[in-house]
């Protein structure tokens, strides 16, 4: 019997396929993104690699936290997307609630689970602590990372989705 698991063989294509075929199920997502440094640190490369169990294929308006917030008056009704629009597939069918397109880029909408996101931070290709990484950001961007407030949903640029092989070694 083999010691390997299917998780170890996930490629970026596999991760995208799992997300796009999820209808509210929990799936593993891996993504890597470059973060713009503060002007004082221009010339440095800041990279985040994140891995999380998320849900996809959910209508934001159907989240219990959203419904409860509307009922209690803590928030207003659900509005249109604040930016971008739902992508249309090759047949002209909306890819709601999976893919948003904006300025010729596609973004996958994801919903965090109760599982903590594991993020590794890099400064010029070298792994650093979250605190060191934040020293190179604007105060407002650093605060977002350090406070770690979990959003109800978030988007990841489709081209930033990675496979397991990008997170090992």
3 pLDDT exceeds 60? no
Neighbours of 117 (CB within 10 A): 16
pLDDT tens sequence across 111-158 = 999 888 899 999 999 999 999 999 999 999 999 999 977 888 999 999
Alpha helices in 21-126 (DSSP H): 64-72
Residue 168 banded pLDDT, cuts 50, 70, 90? low
pLDDT at 62: 87
pLDDT class of 46 with cuts at 50, 70, 90: very high
Q: Which pTM was predicted?
A: 0.83
**CA nearest neighbour of 97 among 128, 137, 56, 127:** 56
Tell me which residue of 124, 119, 111, 115 sits closest to 153, measured CA to CA: 111
The phi, psi pair for 71, rounded to 5°, reads -60, -40
Distance in angstroms (rounded) separating the CA atoms of residues 108 and 2: 34
Tell me, what's the pLDDT at 8?
57
Cβ-proximal residues to 70 (8 Å cutoff; 6+ apart), any chain: 76, 77, 78
């Amino acid at each position: 019997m083999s010691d390997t698991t299917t998780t170890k063989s996930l490629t970026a294509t596999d991760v995208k396929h799992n997300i796009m075929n999820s209808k509210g199920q929990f799936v593993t997502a891996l993504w890597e993104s470059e973060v713009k440094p503060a002007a004082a640190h221009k010339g440095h490369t800041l990279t985040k690699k994140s891995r999380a169990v998320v849900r996809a294929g959910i209508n934001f308006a159907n989240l219990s936290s959203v419904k409860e917030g509307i009922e209690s008056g803590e928030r207003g009704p659900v509005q249109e997307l604040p930016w971008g629009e739902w992508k249309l597939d090759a047949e002209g069918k909306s890819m709601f609630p999976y893919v948003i397109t904006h300025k010729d880029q596609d973004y996958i909408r994801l919903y965090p689970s109760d599982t903590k996101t594991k993020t590794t931070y890099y400064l010029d290709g070298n792994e650093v602590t979250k605190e060191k990484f934040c020293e190179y950001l604007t105060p407002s961007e650093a605060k977002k990372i350090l406070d770690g407030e979990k959003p109800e949903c978030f988007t990841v640029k489709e081209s930033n989705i990675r496979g397991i092989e990008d997170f090992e070694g």
